[in-house]
Amino acid sequence: MPSTALAGIKVLDLSRVLAAPLAGQMLADLGAEVIKVERPGAGDEAREYGPPFLADADGRPTRDAAFYFSCNRNKKSIALDLATADGQAIVRRLAAQSDVVLENFKAGSLKKYGLDYESLKAVNPRLVYCSVTGFGQTGPLAPKPGYDGVFQAMSGMMSVSGYPEEPIKVGISMVDILTSLYAANAIQAALYHRDMHGGPGQHIDMSLLDCGLASLSHFAMNYLISGEVPERRGNGGYGGVPSQAFICADKQIFLVAGNNGQFSRLCEVLGRPDLPHDPRFSETAGRIAHRSDLIEILDAIFPTRPAAEWLAALDAAGVAAGPVNDISEAVAEPQILHREMVREIDHPLGVKLKILANPIRFSETPIDGYAAPPGVGQHTDEILAALGLGDAEREDLRARRIT
């Protein structure tokens, strides 16, 4: 079962692809009932973002991509054509019974369907309505479409990622993922304000560009205070030095020696106890100022031994370090296995589906299980019946391809 932390909260999820659906999945993991509205037949376009596609019990690929499974578990799916008056009427009826509406249509585009915040607020004044768009609901770029890579570029995230000669985007859709976390936090804060302080519902305006910029955190503060644009340092960090990846005899490791004591212990492991006494390296500020000199020395030492030997010695010395893993190595890490971050759940097709578990660990309201992401419209009849639509009405909607 999902957590019971948000039990009783009802979420109407009109969103597609990644950022907003991932926020809906977080709420579902935490115990909210999340109803996902999808296009009849095709469903969320994220279902097409493959390969890879889930294979059925006979090993044949389905039409559902792994991408879709990353952000839609623990939800129910209803198929509705929002371009029809009947489809819009059903959404309004669902919104009247919901606590939250989550959508990521282009700014202003739901108004023509009568499904924008003001329209649904008239149906349900207590509604928390969260809009997730590329540029937000206001401003000169509000109508523009956009995707994660665009926002990594525009927000400055790419400018601090990569090597001096080339900015590089983060490999995963990082702005989408960060926006989903901001959105889930904002929704819960709005619900708390409504339910604990007697406030009304409200509209939450989430912008991927805003979230990308906000994620620059201390990098942005360094610029705002100094006026200096941060340089790209590849795998090097901006804290203590060394803080970066090193090539060993067989693979890379990443280590951080963030203070003088850690640096001294690192130098003992490296067989260079003299380095902390070098005036260039004796203090943190000096090591930062003479970064290139120090890294040149360390780069010559690490290739002399395999990664496992270095890591064992660094662990024994209390220096923070770890292997640079690919995904197959990461999910096989003993600590990851112990934490059960990879789970196997049943899928209605009769196959096992491996998923990444939610990393939140509650003592009193644990997330004990997961329901597989739904098929397109899998729960349409159940949801419509709960609204009071009889067999004949539901069949009529199907015949007219509204569901």
Same domain? 17 vs 158: yes
| Residue at 232 is within a domain | no
Check: CB of residue 46 under 8 Å from CB of residue 32. no
The rounded average pLDDT for each run of 10 residues, N- to C-terminus, in the chain (403 residues) is 92 97 98 97 94 92 94 98 97 98 96 97 97 97 94 96 92 97 98 95 98 95 92 78 95 95 97 97 93 96 98 97 96 96 94 96 94 96 96 95 95
Report yes or no on 222 lying in a domain. no
Residue 238 covered by a domain: no
For residue 3, is it within any domain?
no
Q: pTM of the full predicted structure?
A: 0.93
Reported residue count of the chain is 403
The CATH number of whichever domain residue 181 belongs to comes to 3.40.50.10540
- Assess whether 56 and 193 both reside in one domain: yes
Range of the domain at 289: 243-247+252-323
Pick the last residue of a domain from 297, 323, 349. 323
Shared domain check, 95 and 35: yes
Q: Are residues 306 and 196 in the same domain?
A: no
Asked if the structure places residue 220 within a domain, the reply is no
User: Quick one: tokens of 290?
Assistant: 């003479």
pLDDT at 75: 98
State the chain's maximal CA–CA distance in angstroms. 85
Asked if residue 230 belongs to a domain, the reply is no
- Integer angstrom CA distances of residue 76 from 10, 32, 385: 11, 11, 14
Which of 288, 323, 358 represents a domain boundary (last residue)? 323
pLDDT of residue 1: 72
Q: Is 17 in the same domain as 130? A: yes
Q: Which two tokens stand for residue 137?
A: 């609901």
pLDDT at position 252: 97
Q: Can the peptide bond before residue 242 be classed as cis, meaning omega within 30 degrees of 0?
A: yes
Whether residues 194 and 267 fall in one domain: no
Tokens of 257: 């020696």
Confirm whether 376 is domain-assigned.
Answer: yes
Identify the pLDDT of residue 233: 82
Q: Is residue 125 part of a domain?
A: yes
Count of domains forming the chain: 2
Selected catalytic residue, list 176, 293, 391, 396 = 176
Identify whether residues 184 and 304 lie together within a single domain. Answer: no
Query: What is d(CA 306, CA 314) in angstroms, rounded to the nearest whole number?
Result: 13
Instruction: Give the per-residue pLDDT at 237.
Output: 72
Residues 25 and 77 in one domain: yes
> Do 46 and 139 fall within a single domain?
yes
345 and 306 fall within a common domain:
no
Q: Which pLDDT score is estimated for 239?
A: 67
Domain end residue (candidates: 269, 296, 323): 323
Say yes or no: 194 and 95 in one domain: yes
CATH code at position 313: 3.30.1540.10
d(CA 234, CA 257): 17
My answer on whether 207 and 289 are in the same domain is no
176 given a catalytic annotation: yes
| Tally of CB atoms within 10 A around 224 | 8
